[in-house]
Structure 1
């Protein structure tokens, strides 16, 4: 039995990966409650640790169900609201591509981009030990994927485009992902989507509000 769709609670911070999850919530176009948490305090408080023992955001509560990790939240919401067509049909080549690039982004891309940001990329002789292999391999593989067309699976925008697009938008902005023309061509149109604009406005306003209280 499905839990009622009006029981969504979103735990986040406006300067976190929660920005991607909020974008997904806005794409779904459904009401949700937002709980704002602060680094080092409410994020590590017992009440929130009972929801996510990692003490990190974002997290999504849906009735008695709890989902953490941005990719999982995106996939969960896409399945929860099938009328939004944010996930391809199960058992199709498009669904296979959807899983492939969702997990590629959550695994190799996230790891490689983070390692680059921290100047901790594995040396060539140790590349076999890390899931991403080499930073160059990750970037080249992703470039090949996004160069096939405007979307990663099928003929329309899905949650995997949102998730990969978010990584490219913010990764290129902060220098953890190379600013390649193919990446810009793929991600730029997503920044014009009404849900992206709404989500960014909400989180940007929360950032300014927090500065005003500082």
Structure 2
């Protein structure tokens, strides 16, 4: 790989899933810890890198990648030998992209509205239509197989396993059987479990 990978990370945040993905990919990388309790995410040094002041972010050569779904897509394609992203031409490539995009465009907006007890926008303007339809669309897919792509484990599962883990833990998503079984399956993978445990230890 021509350039070194740098990872900007705060333990026990959304970037924990990216840490787990990097471990699953067996990637070599340098971690730059952003102490959000100290406000480092809003300091000029970090804002010069990511004006949104968010983690995760990665820097690979001259390429800065922010936004969770973009990072998952970029990293999984960057390490093709790990086979965590169906390649272009593979029939599973479309569904893989769909479920990663669904996370950012439907799931998170719905969960934020629900957690804030905020009335959603009119259905025609709401990015997720309505919460119940969003959730049933997801659970129906989870019931079809062990992974989002059926029998094929992918980077999409790292994203969703982590996300559903914390959203069910905080009561933002109901602990339906399809969801809890999926979370246990994904988060129980040795590499992911080790990454999450080390991240929790680092947050202390």
- Partners in 2 of 1:105 and 1:132 — Cα distance? 10
Aligned residues: 203
Q: Deviations over 1:129-154 (max 9, x none)?
A: 21011110111100111111112225
Task: Name the residue aligned to 1:198.
Answer: 194
Is 2:135 the counterpart of 1:139? yes
Is 2:154 the counterpart of 1:158? yes
SS of residue matched to 1:11? strand
Contact map agreement 1:26 1:198 (CA 8 A) in 2:
no
Task: Name the residue aligned to 2:45.
Answer: 47
- Aligned-residue offset at 1:103: 0.4
Task: Name the residue aligned to 2:104.
Answer: 106
- Aligned-residue offset at 1:93: 2.2
Contact map agreement 1:121 1:135 (CA 8 A) in 2:
no
SS of residue matched to 1:167? helix
Is 2:16 the counterpart of 1:8? no
Question: Could you tell which deviates more after superposition, 148-157 or 23-32?
Answer: 148-157
Q: Deviations over 1:181-210 (max 9, x none)?
A: 1111222111111221121122111111xx
**TM-score normalised by length of structure 2:** 0.94
Question: Could you tell which deviates more after superposition, 152-161 or 128-137?
Answer: 152-161
- Partners in 2 of 1:167 and 1:15 — Cα distance? 11
- Aligned-residue offset at 1:127: 2.3
Task: Name the residue aligned to 1:25.
Answer: 22
Structure 1 residues without counterparts, runs of 5 or longer: 209-214
Change (3 A) 1:155 1:57: same
Structure 2 residues without counterparts, runs of 5 or longer: none
Q: Deviations over 1:96-148 (max 9, x none)?
A: 1001111011110011011111111416xx22221011110111100111111
**TM-score normalised by length of structure 1:** 0.90
Is 2:203 the counterpart of 1:207? yes
Contact map agreement 2:76 2:85 (CA 8 A) in 1:
yes
Contact map agreement 1:10 1:33 (CA 8 A) in 2:
yes
Question: Could you tell which deviates more after superposition, 183-192 or 130-139?
Answer: 183-192
TM-align CA RMSD: 1.5
- Aligned-residue offset at 1:41: 2.3
2:117 to 116, 119, 137: 119
Is 2:173 the counterpart of 1:177? yes
Q: Deviations over 1:55-97 (max 9, x none)?
A: 1111011111111111111111100000000001212321010
